[in-house]
Structure 1
Amino acid sequence: MNAIISAADLRAGTAVREPVLLDVRYRMGGPPGRPQYEAGHLPGARYVDLESELAGPPGAGGRHPLPPLEVFTTAMRRAGVYDGGRPVVVYDGGQGWAAARAWWMLRWAGHPDVRVLDGGFAAWDGPLETGALPPADGDFTPRPGALPVLTADQAAELARTGLLIDARAAERYRGETEPIDPVAGHIPGAVNAPTTENVAPDGTFLPAERLTARFAELGATKAPEVGVYCGSGVSAAHELLALHIAGVPAALYVGSWSEWTRDPSRPVATGPTP
């Protein structure tokens, strides 16, 4: 199933009919997304907060661990997500990371039809609503496990036996700088494929054939198993979405580098992709 939808197709209503719209605008370290939502959003969209509803409190599991299931369930029902296959379209400001996290979480929780608005809010040229909609009465019941996840030990093993992709910027992967986490570098054996190279200058995803070629060069199409991590499990979801478009199944290491570096016994590598 197609995991992205263009603004033109969404506005025309031909690709999906009566979708549930989720606004997940978010910027790491930036202002909250709710004021942006209330200032203008796609008609019928409801706001979902990444920090409190698509992630749990920071801790041993990293900066953006999975939220408690009851928190996620309440958020999705309040946003109008239903069982029964009614499609969901998620969007953020245009970077794609937050929308991809919402896409991944809903798919992981068993929703069969979730798409990301390609290019996000910046690509939308249709009408807007202001203010906030009242809570909906969705009935979505998550069934976790529909998509694979990795523990730290499994990620380390996959770096040896399959393909583990680090989705962060190249300079963070190489260990030249680390603006967020306490240790610079990467998981030994991981290869680097920054999420910024998944998209065109306008933030829309590259065509499937170009993404397939990109990941094939890394060995993803021949690896027995593929996993992805980033700083805290958010931008890695964007890489997973790109891999999905390319036809490559992959697992998410949710804790990512922010969890990995909490244990000083875990090894750290620096330098370019081997």
Structure 2
Amino acid sequence: MKPLIDVPELEARLAAGQRTVLLDVRWVLGDPHGHEHYLSEHLPGAAFVDLATELSDPAVPDRGRHPLPSPEQFQESARRWGIRNGDLVVAYDDSANMAAARLWWMLRDAGLAEVYLLDGGLAAWRAAGLPLESGPVQPTFGDVELGSGHMPVADAGAAARWAGSGLLLDARAGERYRGEVEPVDPRAGHIPGAVSAPTAGNVDAAGRFLPPAELKRRFEHLGIRVGTPVAVYCGSGVTAAHEVAALELAGFRAALYPGSFSEWSNRPELPVATGPEPAGGIPDSGRGGTRAGNSAGAGGSVAL
């Protein structure tokens, strides 16, 4: 299933009156005013999604800064956003889909078949000269039935094994991977054996995903081949979902480590490495139990 919808396709769909749920995930680390930005301008009819309270449980050291909510809580939120069974859902933000990808991944994991990221997000819609609106949107309560377990997931133990026998990608900025700076987590560095693959390398200057062929070349340079088991982490499991979407565009299926480095670095028994290379692995790109789901294998922003 493709993860993207572009502006012309979405505009045509809305003009034809096809049922489409638009969800605005306006959130950036260090900016607590996402809802205010949404109220100022958003796509017509888009409902606001609060990443901190609706796409995450409260922070717990041994689960990370943005633990996933329970399936029951998530279903309640999805109904509050107006999602009904059979709906097509489009998520977007104003930060190259770095936050919206979290919602995309969660809805896919919950079994929603037609959920997409608006390629380029709000900036692409605005650049096309299309109308925006302000103020809140209160959707009619939906009836969607959501499940869980439709996307592959890795825990800390599986991430460590992936770093040794498959490929574990670190989606944070390169300086955080190398341990030169750590603004939020208790230890600096990366999971030993992980390969640096900053999410900023997935998009162009306008915030649109690179073409699939370019993404494929990028990930192949990092060591991915057809059949390679791949898992991804970031700071707290948010922008790692963006990397999962980019990998899907490139033709690779990857597991997400939801706790990510915020969980790993809070566990003193787990080792942390520093420097530009994984031990015995592939150099830093410089660009910036397991749940099997449907099987994990082939098939500068701050990473949160």
Bucket of the pairwise TM-score, normalised by the shorter protein: over 0.9
Match for 1:28: what amino acid? L
Match of 2:162 in 1: 158
Shift of 1:180: 1.0
Deviations 1:142-180 (A, max 9, x none): 210000111101100111110000001111101111111
Alignment of 1:194-205 (within 5 A): 194-205=198-209
Q: Does the 8 A contact of 1:163 with 1:223 survive in 2?
A: no
Q: Does the 8 A contact of 2:25 with 2:92 survive in 1?
A: yes
Deviations 1:126-155 (A, max 9, x none): 112221122422111221000011110110
Shift of 1:14: 8.2
Q: Does the 8 A contact of 2:21 with 2:82 survive in 1?
A: yes
Separation of aligned partners in 2, 1:259 and 1:222: 29
Shift of 1:6: 1.4
Shift of 1:31: 2.5
Shift of 1:43: 1.0
Q: Does the 8 A contact of 1:232 with 1:255 survive in 2?
A: yes
Alignment of 1:1-274 (within 5 A): 1-13=1-13, 17-59=18-60, 60-84=62-86, 86-124=87-125, 125-273=129-277, 274=281
Deviations 1:48-74 (A, max 9, x none): 100000111100200011012232111
Structure 2 gaps, min length 5: 282-304
TM-score normalized with structure 2 length: 0.87
Q: Give the % identical residues.
A: 53
Match for 1:42: what amino acid? L
Deviations 1:101-137 (A, max 9, x none): 0100000010001110111111113112221122422
Q: Which moved more, 1:221-230 or 1:114-123?
A: 221-230
Separation of aligned partners in 2, 1:171 and 1:58: 24
Q: Does the 8 A contact of 2:26 with 2:38 survive in 1?
A: yes
Q: Does the 8 A contact of 1:20 with 1:80 survive in 2?
A: yes
Separation of aligned partners in 2, 1:52 and 1:31: 12
Cα 1:134/1:14, change in 2 over 3 Å: closer
Shift of 1:258: 0.2
Q: Does the 8 A contact of 1:20 with 1:89 survive in 2?
A: yes
Separation of aligned partners in 2, 1:192 and 1:133: 39
Match for 1:5: what amino acid? I
Q: Does the 8 A contact of 1:94 with 1:123 survive in 2?
A: no
Match for 1:186: what amino acid? H
Superposed structure 1 runs of 4+ greater than 4 Å apart: none
Separation of aligned partners in 1, 2:136 and 2:14: 26
CA RMSD, 1 decimal: 1.5
Match for 1:48: what amino acid? V
Separation of aligned partners in 2, 1:26 and 1:101: 11
Match for 2:115: what amino acid? V
Q: Which moved more, 1:49-58 or 1:89-98?
A: 89-98
TM-score normalized with structure 1 length: 0.96
Deviations 1:20-78 (A, max 9, x none): 10011111110231111112211111111000001111002000110122321111101
Query: Residue 20 of structure 1 aligns to a residue in which SS?
Result: strand
Q: Does the 8 A contact of 2:235 with 2:261 survive in 1?
A: yes
Shift of 1:9: 1.9
Q: Which moved more, 1:133-142 or 1:91-100?
A: 133-142
Q: Does the 8 A contact of 2:171 with 2:197 survive in 1?
A: yes
Query: Residue 13 of structure 1 aligns to a residue in which SS?
Result: helix
Separation of aligned partners in 2, 1:172 and 1:15: 44
Cα 1:7/1:146, change in 2 over 3 Å: same
Deviations 1:224-268 (A, max 9, x none): 310000000011011001001111000000000000011111011
Shift of 1:221: 2.1
Separation of aligned partners in 2, 1:12 and 1:94: 24
